[in-house]
Structure 1
């Protein structure tokens, strides 16, 4: 028994360790755990798999990054426009990166796009509450309208890209932001607009043939660009890429559809003629319009 229990009260006191007091207690260090959502300013986690995000048409090009761990980094503004700004965004993982164009539509409070009514004839907003808000011009209605333009352009890009037309690949739609393929020149810089180029005679013919074929294909889909000109076409190497499509017009549903198509043809014919390739706008209109019927 003496081996198991102290024999005196002094022995008990000597073996007792009092609990720490509030003043003497030092808590153990807490390990640092980084918060997953904390990123430096100008960066965000990829929104590819977020609820409400619309992805581009399949098959997805090899350069499209779909990993959850990807990070989007703002690289600056590429272009400002009347209804939207275009920024450059790098999406990257540990072993892959790609630079995309991010087109961000403003609400009508902050844009100068005054031709909406003509372009949107024949279009419908399905939600009755949204239709009333747009008609009243309320703050919510203006937000709905900005989203409507972004949705329209994304849908047109998806349809046209799937049909093989020369347009940027639409990566995803998130509210009023469209992420799309960044069209570059041979050195990797942003491709110039056709209006900035002085192509040779042979290249002029190549460019015109591509645009005419694209316009005919669009007409066969009952669509016209609606604002086609040398300022809405990029030139990269020996090919052209058509951009800025939110106002694409339904040739059948829009009463002014053929008028918009005729203007597209005049704009294209005028520019190519001014560069030395004679193009008759009426002949071009007749050829393109024939595909719509």
Structure 2
């Protein structure tokens, strides 16, 4: 086992477990994707926009929980507005605070859209290698029925939460990859650590927004390669990597948006997704002055495939 391999998952009788061999946890435990009628815990106060914290009935992130995270059941969540809109989900800024105290934190709440409004137009390739156990559910997903689209959304949320949790643990131990701390998963809402200015609520800039100098560019590239090696050694590719889903927070490159994480072994298109990831980010760095021998996509892709044990 290499130094930065993922911790060994639970073993099953048949083969190696992947991010979503099983049904998403929110389906197995019966958690709702929408509030039940008349449930006051899920209703926002129309005057303040607050609701009770949903921490109690959610799947929690890795322990020990960070000191900044508010886990008290007396806390209330206040939606402060939209940080980002996307094809599959919107990200809201949420303030979680305990009334009458100074205990508070900012969170990024990623909310996958309902089955009637999602645009999972590229999901077929990403979902190869992902299966749920029930044949009825597999058929629904393949047929893109309303129920199948709901299952697909659940797979996105569950896969992203699982990937972030495992990558966070590796980053905390070894420091070779940075991702937002995954606070909780509840239904198809994923709450994450907010990365940015806590005073003004300004999110950390995306890599695409920056124009680093030569030394800064080289440092960011080295951080990116380290992160890609961590993924490859575990047999995974980001699947949709670009300068738009890499943040730079306090000079640290942070990888975000991982619902489409690709199994390099289980997905027949895995190496192609990896090659595309490397090509997109490599071209961005090369266009900004990184020496061509460092940003050569074919060379880095080959190295990553060897780290994954495919070559």
1:84 corresponding residue in structure 2: 89
Residue matched to 2:265: 252
Residue 238 of structure 2 is matched in structure 1 by: 225
Match of 1:210 in 2: 223
- The answer to whether the 8 Å contact 1:222/1:252 transfers is yes
Q: Secondary structure at the match of 1:282?
A: helix
Q: CA deviation at 1:115?
A: 1.2
Alignment CA distance shift 1:216-1:39 (3 Å): closer
| Shift in Å, 1:160 | 1.0
1:181 is matched with which residue: 178, 193, 201? 193
TM-score, with length taken from structure 2: 0.79
**Residue 112 of structure 1: CA displacement?**
2.2
Matches within 5 A, 1:39-54: 40-41=45-46, 42-50=49-57, 53-54=58-59
Q: 1:230: Cα distance to partner?
A: 0.5
Does the alignment pair 1:242 with 2:255? yes
More contact order relative to length (CA 8 Å, sep ≥ 6): 2
Give 1:133's aligned residue: 140
Distance 1:185 1:199 in 2: 20
- The superposition leaves residues 113-167 of structure 1 with CA deviations (integer Å, 9 ceiling, x where unpaired) of 3111111111111234432332343322222221111111111111111111211
1:208-267 C-alpha deviation (Å, 9 max, x unpaired): 000000000100010000111111101123111011101110010000111111111111
Asked if the contact 1:108/1:145 (under 8 Å) is kept, the reply is: no
Aligned counterpart for 2:106 among listed residues 99, 116, 119: 99
Where 1:171 maps in the other structure, the secondary structure is strand
SS at match of 2:55: coil
Structure 2 unpaired stretches of 5+: 1-39, 172-176
- Are the counterparts in 2 of residues 185 and 237 from structure 1 also a CA contact under 8 Å? no
* 8 Å CA contact retained: 1:206, 1:238: no
For 1:275 and 1:264, the matched residues in 2 are separated by 17
Q: Is the 8 A contact 1:216 1:289 kept in 2?
A: no
Indicate the larger mover: 114-123 or 125-134: 125-134
1:282 corresponds, among 290, 293, 298, to 298
Larger of the two Rg values belongs to structure = 1
Q: Secondary structure at the match of 2:107?
A: strand
1:271 corresponds to: 284
Q: Distance in 2 between matches of 1:46 and 1:134?
A: 32
TM-score, length basis structure 1: 0.83
Pair 68,92 (structure 1): closer, same or farther in 2 beyond 3 Å: same
Contact 1:107 1:145 survives alignment (8 Å)? no
Q: Which runs of 5+ in 1 are unaligned?
A: 1-35
Which deviates further from its counterpart, 57-66 or 120-129?
120-129
Distance in 1, matches of 2:259 and 2:300, equals: 23
Is the contact between residue 106 and residue 198 of structure 2 (CA under 8 Å) also seen in structure 1?
no
Q: More deviation in 209-218 or 184-193?
A: 184-193
CA RMSD of aligned residues (A): 1.8
Question: Equivalents in 2 of 1:105, 1:142: separation in Å?
Answer: 11
